[in-house]
Amino acid sequence: MTDSATKGLKPKHQRLVLLSLALVALIGAGLLAAWALRNQASYFYLPSEIIAEAPAPDQGVRLGGMVEMGSIEEQPDGTTIRFIVEDGTAKVPVSFTGIAPALFVEGSGVVAEGKMSADGVFVADNLLAKHDENYMPKELDGMTQEQVRKQVEATLE
Amino acid sequence: MHGYANPARFLKIARWFTMPLLVGGLLVTAAALVWGWTTAPPDRLMGDSVKILFVHLPAAWLGMGGWTAIAIASLVELVWRHPLAAISARAVAVPGAVFAFLCLASGSIWGRPTWGTWWVWDGRLTSMLVLLFLYLGYMALTNALAREGSSSRIAAIFGLVGAINVPIINRSVVWWNSLHQPPSITMGNSAIDPIYLYPLLASVLGFSLLFGGVVFARMRAILADAQAEARLRRKAQKAELAQATAGEA
């Protein structure tokens, strides 16, 4: 800034202008960084993303979405479960051996950590239950389950 | 605003405010927590662990609100050179850090039974941890500057630059897929059943009053510290002067 440009300004106002410019630059830099991170900083892939861009067979990834209603099947060995994770557009079958978290239920969110196998089944070695933003008592559960499910799906889009 | 620049004048008001805020905050917080913990029914999925919400959410809001206050105070200090701005920013750092830690700790305890993990490196949790580290760094910096009697302008710049993390925390669950759920309470909208929401808001009020009380108490302590130090310095100077004149004679 040249002298003539700042001559009319009181020091206080000059500081305000300079600081505002610095803040705008800072916020711009922050937004750009966040924008650049928008893919890398995601904690998991959605089923449609995993199908569109299949990870290498030995690459550990996280798959997140909704557990499809009525899809959880216990396998004969008693410790393995199979279920389908969906995001409204795509579905991925998942197999998991171990103890699932208490909140792992059909129609709710889940994040599975594991690898994509050659036959298209996602083999998970860890399951995390994803809670939605709705908090309601058990009494309301039955009548709004469908509504709740829709809302949960909406948040994943 | 500069009317309160005089510490004596500010102290008179602060003295009057500190106790009512602290006591009121304690009472409201205790009442809100008892209300929430005794009346709130178990959540449809999470069961009784939903009751952590009454601590977790106020702590998260105040942790982020604290840094917002530091940023505003830093701006006021840099532009208007208000003498109380630096002191208030310093005073906010300690309760802000405590609440950020409380948010992380309660969230971790909550995550174990609900998500199935104590900690994950998703956008929300990571950016909140960064906030706690920013607080710790800020406290170390302001303490060092105060000890050396240096200008607090560096701390103010730190406060402003660190503020970029606050909107990132807020937007992290919207911008990126995360294990943490999206915001339940947005402008004029709540996905939280009223049976949880009202005790929750009462708890937010209680913790906020406490926060305010601690900030006033800290500001008074910092001002008293500065006064005591100035008095000691004057005394030392006088003693030195007396010694020097005695040596000459």
DSSP letter string, B174-214: HHS--SSPPPSEETTEE-B-HHHHHHHHHHHHHHHHHHHHH
- Chain B environment of A44 (Cβ under 8 Å): 177, 179
pLDDT given for residue B5 in this prediction: 66
pLDDT given for residue B78 in this prediction: 92
Nearest-by-CA chain A residue for B178:
A43
What are the helix and strand counts (H, E) for chain A? Answer: 4, 6
Contact (CB<8Å) A42/B53: no
Note whether A143 contacts B: Cβ–Cβ < 8 A. no
Strands A109-116 and A91-97, by their bridges, are unpaired
DSSP secondary structure code for residue A55 in this structure? P
Buried (b) or exposed (e) across B68-102, using 16+ Cβ within 10 A? ebbbbbbbbbbbeebebbbbbbbbbbebbbbbbbb
Q: Mean pLDDT across chain A, nearest whole number?
A: 81
Model confidence pLDDT, tens digit, residues B94-127: 999 999 999 999 999 999 988 989 999 988 999 9
Nearest to A137 among B168, B184, B193 (CB): B193
Contact (CB<8Å) B122/A43: yes
What 3-state DSSP class applies to A110?
strand
Answer yes or no: is pLDDT of A74 > 70.
Answer: yes
A129: phi then psi, degrees, rounded to nearest 5: -85, 135
Task: Determine the residue among A21, A43, A103, A125 to mutate to test chain B binding: the one whose Cβ has the most chain B Cβ atoms within 10 Å.
Answer: A43
Contact (CB<8Å) B181/A131: yes
Model confidence pLDDT, tens digit, residues A18-60: 888 988 998 888 888 888 877 677 888 899 888 888 888 788 8
Token output for A89: 């557009």
How far is it, in rounded angstroms, from Cα B162 to Cα B168?
11
Q: How many residues does chain B have?
A: 249
Answer yes or no: is pLDDT of A5 > 70.
Answer: no
For residue A147, the Cα-to-chain-centroid distance in whole angstroms is 20
Confidence of residue A1 (pLDDT cuts 50, 70, 90): very low
Percentage, residues of chain A above pLDDT 70: 82
Token output for B174: 């919207």
Map out the domains of chain B as residue ranges: 48-181+193-248
Token output for A143: 């009548």
Count chain A–chain B contacts defined by CB atoms under 8 A: 125
The highest-level CATH class for domain A47-155 is: mainly beta
Query: CA of B89 to nearest chain A CA: how many angstroms apart?
Result: 18
Instruction: Give me the residues of chain B with pLDDT under 50, please.
Output: none
Cβ–Cβ < 8 Å for A111, A96 = no
Contact (CB<8Å) B115/A133: no
pLDDT given for residue A143 in this prediction: 47
Window 1-20 of A: residues touching B by CB (8 A cutoff) are: 12, 15-16, 19
Q: How many C-beta atoms lie closer than 10 Å to residue A86's C-beta?
A: 20
Mean pLDDT of A117-137: 86
**CA distances, A133 to each of A153, B88, B186, B219 (Å):** 11, 35, 11, 37
ipTM for the whole complex? 0.74
Answer yes or no: is pLDDT of A145 > 70.
Answer: no
Map out the domains of chain A as residue ranges: 3-36, 47-155
DSSP class per residue in B49-82: GGGGHHHHHHHHHHHHHHHHHHHHHHHHHHHH--
Q: Which residue has the higher pLDDT, A7 or B197?
A: B197
Note whether B52 contacts A: Cβ–Cβ < 8 A. no
Nearest-by-CA chain B residue for A46:
B177
How far is it, in rounded angstroms, from Cα B50 to Cα B69?
29
Q: How many residues does chain A have?
A: 157
B148: phi then psi, degrees, rounded to nearest 5: -90, -5
